[in-house]
Structure 1
Amino acid sequence: MSSLALLVATSLTLTVMLRSEQGPPSDQAEFQAKIVDDRRQLFDGSLSYRSRVSAPVGESVTYSIKLTALGEDAARRVNPERAAETRAFQVGGVEGASLTSASGQVRVVRLADTKTRQVIAEPGDTVEWRWGLTASEPGSYDLVLSLTTYQGDSDRALDTLTPPITVRLQVENTWSNRVDSMRNWLIALGGVAAALLALYAFRAPLAEFVQARREARRERAGGRDGYL
């Protein structure tokens, strides 16, 4: 029995020594484990959005999206007929959305009644984002819709909408814009015409001046010939 007790004590001592040599888990390992655990806590969500939106040129139109955390009751409350399209997304905690355009002709402004980051705490929660869209020229523009689930208040992403959603903005021309364009064209044309008239008005006295110089040279040349 004494030999067995000694063997057990020796094993315990070696185990404690090995653990003490290894030291506590590193900060990096704890950080990674925390991210993995937080991702496991996410639950299914549904994003409702429109992939196409139209607006008259120069006028603002509101574009909105909704993100809902799904559950048995929440799934029944989500009405797919009310949204043009839906897409699955992992939610739970702080949610962020952005809508951007690479075109300088399009202005995207988040409306004041919605925050950039919002919170989904449990199934059934719904958050909404709204933007005002304005284009200065008619045409077709691509906007990029991005969505991110953050780890708490940090900027670390637990889930990102991949790939981002492309929203097509179709901007239609209007009669008022056509009238404005025509007026600007006429103003520009009038400026060109005025410049041509000024050039023509300057050309006449210039031609007279050149002609007078030529006649003066001829008279001087004729006077010298008569003297000889």
Structure 2
Amino acid sequence: MPAATTIQMEASPADHWSPRNRRRCGCHGVNWCRVVSTAIVLLFVGLAVGGLFYLIAVSTRDPVYSVSIDAVSGLDLDHPTDLAGRAPTLDPVFNLTVRLSSRNQVTNYPNCIWPGTTVEVTYRGVQLAIGSAEQLCVGARETKEQHVVAWGAGVRLPGSALDALAGEARRGAEAFDVAVKIPTVIHSGYHSYDPRHVHLGTLVSCMSRRVGDDPVAALRTPCHASSTDIAASYPNKGRTQPRGAS
């Protein structure tokens, strides 16, 4: 009988990548192309979400407000004994610098000091002067300043405050509190007080500002800012403001 003939069939390339052969190679049926593709998609999604949160973070930081008192007149501070010995009617005039700085890297809308903003100067709770600020807006990473004059008319300080001011004037240590009141703004086109279309006002409190302090240092000292509902006001440069306490 003829010898048995052994026929060897060469496996096709497709046979090498059959599920059975993949299991033999230790792949256990895992589709590595799909795994890599999924990982790449997840990486891009993570980067996109992280970038979105970063943009939100760098575009929603609150601005920084600061104030310096450059000069004052009408308080007779050159003659403190006159202040202590009588109850004068004062007509103070404060020359102020108001600074607004944006901390945002990017911004969809500017930070602004809006029309109707008032700047008030007080001493121990008694209003001495009030003035109006002009509209001032800053973009991303921008800083701007404006000069504001606050006026007072016929102001009378109570005895305790008058004595304290006289004593501080003798030491050259008189200090005043300044408040910048930025009004609530309703977006143009809306006529109702709908919270979705309202930007609450900002109360900026700058405590213990001394006259003639280094303006660079003073303007680098931020004031405290808080959101609250504030009505716009347009004082007549203090000439019609109420008198201080008697």
TM-score by length of 2: 0.33
- The structure that is helix-richer by fraction is 1
Higher gyration radius (CA): 1
TM-score, normalisation: structure 1: 0.35
